[in-house]
Amino acid sequence: MKTITGLFDDYTDASSAVSALEATGVPSNDISIVSNNADDRHSNNGAATGAESGAGLGAVVGGAGGLLTGLGIMAIPGVGPVVAAGWLAATAVGAVAGAVAGGAAGGLIGALTASGVSEDDANFFAEGVRRGGSLVTAKVDDDLAREAEAILKRSNWIDPSQRKAAYNEQGWTRFDETLDPYGPEQIEQERDRYRRPPAA
């Protein structure tokens, strides 16, 4: 098994990638999504979230099929509110059940590194979600890894080396859960920074 991970600026692109992975035959149980929810795009249906402690998932009413029907809300210190589903979210939440605040971020980074993502990349992905992004992670058989990565790229994923270089130019070195989460205005400014100008 190999872990394939893609970061997206837009939740719609990330959810399309999830659907495309499922259509290719990747089981929903092997796919995860963690998406910034600072704009309250998804709202809690009244279930207890544990969001205050960062150690729980509350149910979200979803209209899509497959993995996306199981979205839940949680809070990650330094990232803020996220919607999440899948094994990565469950691992992150499980790692912090009963833990002090701050554990959810460590749980997310720890879950990524435990699945084979480098610590450097895991910190980058956590920072990308903090800045408004959506993270899609899939555990796939080795023979499907290349196709799964191509699906993520076609779904308008962020080139990790380019974006990491841009973060580094701004003085970023690693995810810091003690920083304030990005609000909707900061996220919009961040997205504007990277939007491609329309073709002439």
- Residue ranges per structural domain of the chain: 2-193
pTM recorded for the entire structure: 0.82
For residue range 59-112, what is the model confidence (pLDDT) as tens digits?
Answer: 443 444 567 666 777 777 777 788 888 888 776 655 444 444 444 456 678 888
Between the CA atoms of 120, 183, 153 and 24, what dihedral angle is there, to the nearest 10 degrees? Answer: 100
Look at residue 47 in the predicted model and tell me its pLDDT: 36
Stronger pLDDT, 5 or 104, i.e. the higher one: 5
Region of poorest pLDDT, from 64-68, 130-134, 157-161, 167-171: 64-68
Are the beta carbons of 182 and 190 closer than 8 angstroms?
Answer: yes
For residue range 184-200, what is the model confidence (pLDDT) as tens digits?
Answer: 999 999 989 887 665 55
Look at residue 18 in the predicted model and tell me its pLDDT: 94
Each residue of 71-94: b (16+ CB within 10 Å) or e? bbbbbbbbbbbbbbbbbbbbbbbe
Nearest to 55 by CA among 107, 132, 123: 107
Of the pLDDT bands very low, low, confident and very high (cuts 50, 70, 90), residue 43 is low
For residue range 112-148, what is the model confidence (pLDDT) as tens digits?
Answer: 888 889 999 999 999 999 999 999 999 999 999 999 9
Are the beta carbons of 131 and 8 closer than 8 angstroms?
Answer: no
